[in-house]
Structure 1
């Protein structure tokens, strides 16, 4: 179980065209899948990731044209961090200046070089420099030289009232382990190559967060298959008294959902069947893909969804 890390992170955005342009043209990520929100099919669900669409690299968005802005606070994801080669941080700082991307000064956390920034909706993001990082699956088709390209997730930072309760879920259910402390920040890591870091910050007495544009909606953790997922569900119930939803088929993975003790929505998503189940790897993200139960509404939905080009 130690190798399990983050499968994907799903956030809320404003206009879909602006969201697509930022993540593909500014950050150089690959549009891995263009589909709809299965629970609200009048809006897109856009998936961005590496060249192969691997778990641990996928940041997804529900873009609503006129969404109200969210508010950071307790019970929310404070930051989502990507991995880049250590030598790429200077390149990205220059690129953010050139592109007018709001960003902070380069800083150090747990000995790592970190460059924070925000997307057009105010989503809090960061690039973490990884020494000697080399990932052939990093997407080089987005205009970013391969030696500087984003490789996938480093991890996330959660803001909760009680870090210990959240940490118990991370360690017992998802196989993370505590590896460091820095003030109110506790670091948990797994052996996953991508998405293997979760920082938990205790913030007693802070205002609760509010979902909206720029907010992370949920964080999905990896399960190799249905059996691994079922074992995690069992641990949640028996060791923590937490029940999940029934399993839901999301076409590219199968999911269950629950609120961890700090109030953040967690998902357990299977690695299988993957994003190439309905498109060749070379053609990922090219066409609007719908689940079978929505195919009869394709013409209606295509007319309702905003143009992306």
Structure 2
């Protein structure tokens, strides 16, 4: 039996590293759990990881800071656009006040009959805090955010598409959409996989904007990753996607902490099919208590540690 468990992580191309660290830890109160580098290509770029208290796969936001290299992207249609995070429903007033105090412009919105707060990352990527009741994932308590009000983890993703019906069709036919499709104005929503929380997908019909960029570049959402549970299941899901004719899918890539394949949806968003394998996990190279305290490199880059460090802007993490 093939399946998708739920979400695994979200990865963004952001601006400068320090402003990204400060936004996720000092403003959103998330836990800093990993400092490493982009595994693809030869340009040295940080890969930074943030999570809830336990580092649940469905809680992790990761970023590539590109501003140091002068590489910018363009937000538009046919790409994932909005980072949706889950917080306790009763915390929204706290968050409105906190974001305002940190000089982050914030607005109330009602989507699918539920309140959420909308705001932006310093590089312009759109975020929303969605209030949920009964989310069991444990928030991190830090930097002025009490645990009872903290970020549980990912709520989901919002994708902008010129032809949103193609994205919905893909989800229903081959990507394990659950619970039917609900609509609110120009948004359609469904859940992917078996988890109750963290796996909401919203698809927004957007024919106003130009095509957004799909390459790395500051200010853009790179991909949304799903948790496939096991390598055997991951391979079977890959076969089924290819068998349905969606052949824009990569071979297996080893990211140390998980192993992944990547699939471009017909609506343009990039999905990752990830598995935290037996030798992986956030604590495979750092103890659970020390997560994020060291600069971790994959073995193929270790002999260039000094060279890589000299090319990256230093960052300070108070977490």
Q: TM-score, normalised by structure 1?
A: 0.93
Q: Is the 8 A contact 1:70 1:210 kept in 2?
A: yes
Matching residue of 2:91: 88
Quick check: 1:274 aligned with 2:281? Answer: yes
| 1:38 Cα deviation after fit | 0.9
Quote the offset at 1:243 in angstroms.
Answer: 4.2
Partner in structure 2 of residue 265 of structure 1 = 270
Other-structure match for 2:128 = 126
Q: Is the 8 A contact 2:187 2:203 kept in 1?
A: yes
**Which of 212, 227, 242 pairs up with 2:247?**
242
CA distance in 2, matches of 1:175, 1:8: 18
Distance between the aligned counterparts of 1:51 and 1:297, measured in 2?
A: 32
Cα deviation digits, residues 201-226 of structure 1 (max 9, x gap)? 12246421136322101111111011
Cα shift readout 1:32-55 (whole Å, capped 9, x = no counterpart): 110001114511000111122221
CA shift digits 1:27-75 (9 cap, x unpaired): 1111111000111451100011112222111111110225455332211
Change in 2 beyond 3 A, CA 1:235/1:144: same
Paired position in structure 2 for 1:148: 149
Q: Distance between the aligned counterparts of 1:207 and 1:155, measured in 2? A: 24
Q: Contact between 1:13 and 1:67, CA under 8 Å: does it hold in 2?
A: no
For 2:73, the equivalent position in structure 1 comes to 70
Q: Distance in 1 between matches of 2:10 and 2:136?
A: 23
Report the alpha carbon displacement of residue 141 of structure 1 after superposing the two structures with TM: 3.1
Matched residue SS, 1:219? strand
- Unmatched runs of 5 consecutive residues or more in structure 2: none
CA displacement at 1:134 relative to structure 2 = 4.7
Say yes or no: does 1:192 pair with 2:200.
Answer: no
Deviation, 1:186, is 1.0
Q: SS of the counterpart of 1:287?
A: coil
2:185 to 177, 180, 183: 183
Q: Distance in 2 between matches of 1:229 and 1:259?
A: 16
What does residue 55 of structure 2 align with? Answer: 53
Query: How many Å separate the matches in 2 of 1:292 and 1:193?
Result: 37
1:214 and 2:216 aligned: no
More deviation in 122-131 or 175-184?
Answer: 175-184
Q: Tell me which moved more, 197-206 or 279-288.
A: 197-206
Number of aligned residue pairs: 307
- In 2, the alpha carbon distance for the partners of 1:152 and 1:146 equals 13
Answer yes or no: is the 8 Å Cα contact 1:165–1:262 preserved in 2: yes
Pairwise CA RMSD of aligned residues? 1.8
Shift of the alpha carbon at 1:132?
Answer: 4.1
**In 2, distance between residues paired with 1:287 and 1:129?**
33
Q: Which residue of 2 aligns with 1:303?
A: 310
CA distance in 1, matches of 2:263, 2:96: 37
**Structure 2 CA distance for partners of 1:241 and 1:126, relative to 1, 3 Å:** closer
In structure 1, C-alpha distance between the alignment counterparts of 2:113 and 2:57, rounded to whole Å: 26
User: How far apart in 1 are the matches of 2:248 and 2:219?
Assistant: 28
The answer for unaligned runs of 5 or more in structure 1 is none
Change (3 A) 1:192 1:134: closer
